[in-house]
Chain A
């Protein structure tokens, strides 16, 4: 189970968040945002470092550098080397860490198809940069609720399905606003920069099939 044991001695359980961003400025800001929201934070500057930290860097015997269980991973999308999407994939492919919620952060330039691809791959949410306190608070509530649903899963199998519907229908203001701003600035399509993946081969799914995909992933 990915979420920290909620019956620990502290009265309000603290999430341990791993934040991944190549920008020093952004790392400092996200760290503060998370700390002020009562989370423990570990920041790393690349996807590669994140995998090392978790012990997923190919060294089968290693348990990684982490001293505390990670409850949430927040990663920038466009990073040199391993992108946020590639990091997401590696985490979801790992049996040890696939249950950890992963949130992607990106600037408004991100195309809706890329956002969709991340959600399909299992990203919990998409945060539009610059990240604000309200975003982090909302995220924390979401993760805490999921954790409680995990706890109650054996007792009440319906809880998780209801929660999933909850997540799908929640305002997700950051996702929708980034969609609208992406469509207005669509002239900034795939540049020659190594940050932006070519997603021209992807289908454009309707929201209902996106929901179906998310649900089928949950129930596998």
Chain B
């Protein structure tokens, strides 16, 4: 279950918006999201850098934006870290914020890798003349089995 828990229903909602005319829509949106992550994480890292001078307002703003965009693409695990991250921010816990920052960095990169695998797999299926089954994103084992059958 290589994607289980990483994505929520919103990802499926995005898939609905993709068609033959816009076959790269989801890939484009998630790509924007990952760029956003990198930029926001970098900014927040700078704000958290000096213990004596943390700009928690800026960090809070970054977390808010990250939570928003992760929610919009269905990046469930990233979004959940943002919830904890916000709590650390609210009580101005720099150590907690740094841990969350590290975790959010890990999660988005992990998701990026997995989605790249998924998109590559789908490309292979399409090129082999198959079609992508509409499966529950948390049941992507089905997709992998299907791919094996297609050979």
Please report A residues at the B interface, Cβ cutoff 8 Å.
Answer: 23-26, 28-29, 32-33, 36, 78, 80, 107, 129-130, 132-133, 188, 191-195
Contacts and interface: CB of A to CB of B under 8 A. Distances in A.
Contacts of A195: 61, 64
B13 A130 contact: yes
Interface in B33-91: 33, 36, 56-57, 60-61, 64-65, 67-69, 71-74, 86, 90
Nearest to B36: A25
Nearest to B33: A25
Contacts of A130: 10, 13, 71-72, 74
B90 to A, nearest CB: 7
A23 B68 contact: yes
A25 B86 CA distance: 20
The 10 closest A-B pairs by CB, nearest first: A25-B69, A130-B10, A130-B72, A32-B17, A132-B13, A25-B32, A130-B71, A193-B60, A25-B33, A26-B72
A48 to B, nearest CB: 18
B115 interface: no
B28 interface: yes
Contact of B29 (A29, A36, A107, A194): A29
Greatest chain A CB density within 10 A among B16, B17, B60, B74 is at B17
Contacts of B57: 192-194
Contact of B90 (A78, A80, A191): A191
B67 to A, nearest CB: 7
Contact of A78 (B10, B36, B64, B69): B64
Interface of B: 10, 13-14, 16-17, 22, 25, 28-29, 32-33, 36, 56-57, 60-61, 64-65, 67-69, 71-74, 86, 90
A25 B25 CA distance: 12
A192 B86 CA distance: 12
Contacts of A32: 17, 22, 25, 29
A29 B142 CA distance: 27
Given A130-B72, A192-B57, A23 B65 contact: yes
A140 B85 CA distance: 36
A24 B13 CA distance: 18
Given A29-B17, A32-B25, 12 more contacts: A23-B65, A25-B33, A25-B72, A25-B73, A28-B32, A32-B22, A32-B29, A129-B68, A133-B17, A188-B86, A192-B57, A193-B61
B36 A29 contact: no
Contacts of B22: 32
A132 B14 CA distance: 8
A28 B28 contact: yes
Contacts of A132: 10, 13
Contact of B17 (A23, A25, A33, A129): A33
Contacts of A36: 17
A28 B25 CA distance: 9
A191 B60 contact: yes
A78 to B, nearest CB: 7
Nearest to B63: A193
B74 A24 contact: no
A195 B61 CA distance: 8
Nearest to A134: B13
B68 A133 contact: no
Contact of A28 (B29, B60, B71): B29
Greatest chain A CB density within 10 A among B16, B60, B61, B72 is at B72
